[in-house]
A and B are shown apart, each in its own frame.
Chain A
Amino acid sequence: MRGQRRLPLEQIIGRIDRRLVYAGLFLITLAPLVGRWALPLYVTPPPKMLADTINALPQDKLVFISSNWDAGTQAENRPQMTVLVRHLIRRRLKFASISIGAPNAPQLANAAIEQAIQLEKVPWVYGQDWVNLGYKLATEPWLRSFVRQIPEAVKEDWKGTPVDQIPVMRGVQKFGPDGQASMLIDITGSATIDGWYRYLSPTGVKLGLGCTAVMAPEQYPFLDSGQLSGLLTGMKGAAEYEQIIGAQGFGTTAMAGQSFAHLYILILIILGNLSLVLGWLERRRRRR
């Protein structure tokens, strides 16, 4: 329109309407999920360490999965849980799921395990090959009791069946080299791993961790010290693990979405800073 002043470039790129920013993120994350795009992924050492540890576990011992994620972090934790269970099934390792971090976790864990069993297309029977021990309030005394004598701390599964009536739990007494449980993998969206470090590490049992991406930087010292036998970092960790065991799943597909979302954020940050520089140049030009 005649007489209306055109907005300078730095204002156009520096003041994009937030609704447009939101819509852009929504579309850019959704497109790869709908199109089922998959991008090649480079496997980093932490997931490889976890896979190697699981590959070396004896088949006559039980693996515990401490499933402590809620719906809020399921985008990252559910693919981790599914791919780890798929690996355990392929290795014929029996496992028990137990939750100490979120009361809703047993139900979500159950759904993820059943999905993994379906994907593997093998008969993996509840009670004989795996069990869901439900939610336990992990106070310090409970943790100590669980580490010392598992049946003292866990008396029934999540549906109330006594553990002595569950075949997979028969004879399972304790962790460690002379125990019947060889490893515990904590899949978590909160700080539940701290309790396992304190009480489980001294038993010599292998500890693995799948956590959200924001939690991972805190865990690298434990990876260095050998207290952690492997680490899955957010959705990327799940995608890398899917690549390691050759079982493409939701993690690989969703990583494409995350890739574009990261790129989108970087472009927006660059645009914001470009606006800053252009504004600064403009002010300098006016001063002259």
Chain B
Amino acid sequence: MWTLTGFKFILAIVGAVAGAVLLLAILHQASHQVKRTLTIALTFIGGLFYFLEFFIPPDPKTEEAVLFGWSLTQAAEVVGNATLVIGGFTFLLGVFSLVHIHGNNVRRRRPGWSYSLAFFAAFLVMTVFAFWKDWQTWFGGPAAPAWVNDQNLAHAAMPQDVYTLLFEGLVRNLDATMFSILAFYIVSAAYRAFRIRSGEAAVLMVVALVLMMGQVPLGMALTNWIPSDGPWSGLRIESLSQYVLTAINAPVQRAIGFGLGLGALAMAMRIWLSLERGTYFGQEV
């Protein structure tokens, strides 16, 4: 593996960016046919690489898939890192998109623009304090003050700094709150919409009742009077619930999984061989 430092490192980054820009410029000028052929070829080569790496039996000593003396397993890590870099660009795209949309909302005073302003404030504050806190660890330079990065061991359980306040005090609780609200919607929806209007709905209701009550102590208490051993034990609500999960649910899940696997295989083949048509596949790139 290459390890570059100092001027060579900066030169390598500048060279890589310049090379990428040049390549994109050439591709931009190329005809639709060339772009399409290139996309198909790269997709096929990428798929073929992982196909061979997975299916070639590994060397018993090194546990690596080798083709003509070339370790595909080691190369897979490099390719994987390259995929991560490409993935990093999508993060940048996400930030750009958020700033663009919320920036327009604020600029044009659209309804609810104050929420967009809250987004900018939250984004800025969290970014500044998260980077400031660990700046010295990652990039060197002066240490952050205690109110930004509390290193006091006495506060190890709950550091008294701004980042912890933002993360533990706000992000974590807001996240939990958002998820908890679901429970209220589910209760309301179950009350208003779960009407038994057909035989299928009745079956669903009975199974839901068994599973819901079989999951909680209060439900289990309903059939507590049935002996837990012996021929009648299967009628206890927790036993019925386990029966539904293992004897009915598990085979159905297997069938769904099998169908999904076949579908995914067919889809993967279509994408690998560029047979897929429709959105993004048949259009000009």
Which of A's residues lie within 8 Å of B, judged by CB?
Answer: 16, 18, 21-22, 25-26, 29, 39-42, 44-45, 70-75, 104, 107-108, 111, 114, 137, 139-142, 144-145, 148, 160, 213, 216-218, 220-221, 223-224, 233-234, 236, 255-256, 258-266, 268-269, 271-273, 276
- The CA-CA distance from A78 to B235 in the complex, in Å, is 32
Interface of A is mostly: helix
Given A71-B172, A260-B218, decide whether A220 and B245 contact each other with a Cβ distance below 8 A: yes
Partner of A39, one of B137, B186, B191, B221: B221
Q: CB distance B253 to A114 under 8 Å? A: no
Query: Which one of B15-23, B93-101, B207-215 is at the A interface?
Result: B207-215
Contacting residues, chain B, for A272 (C-beta < 8 A)? 190-192, 194-195
Q: Is B55 an interface residue (CB 8 A)?
A: no
Given A75-B176, A104-B171, A108-B172, decide whether A266 and B187 contact each other with a Cβ distance below 8 A: no
Contacting residues, chain B, for A140 (C-beta < 8 A)? 80
Given A104-B171, A221-B250, A276-B195, decide whether A25 and B187 contact each other with a Cβ distance below 8 A: yes
Which of B's residues lie within 8 Å of A, judged by CB?
Answer: 63, 73, 76-77, 79-81, 83-84, 87, 137, 157, 167, 171-176, 178-180, 183-184, 186-188, 190-192, 194-197, 205, 209, 212-213, 215-221, 228, 236, 238, 242, 245-246, 249-251, 253-254, 257
Partner of A265, one of B84, B178, B187, B238: B187
Given A22-B188, A107-B167, A266-B212, decide whether A45 and B137 contact each other with a Cβ distance below 8 A: no
- The CA-CA distance from A229 to B63 in the complex, in Å, is 26
Q: CB distance B257 to A259 under 8 Å? A: no
- The CA-CA distance from A237 to B73 in the complex, in Å, is 39
| Apart from A42-B228, A71-B174, A263-B216, 10 more pairs, CB < 8 Å | A21-B191, A71-B171, A72-B179, A74-B172, A75-B176, A137-B87, A220-B245, A259-B217, A261-B183, A262-B215
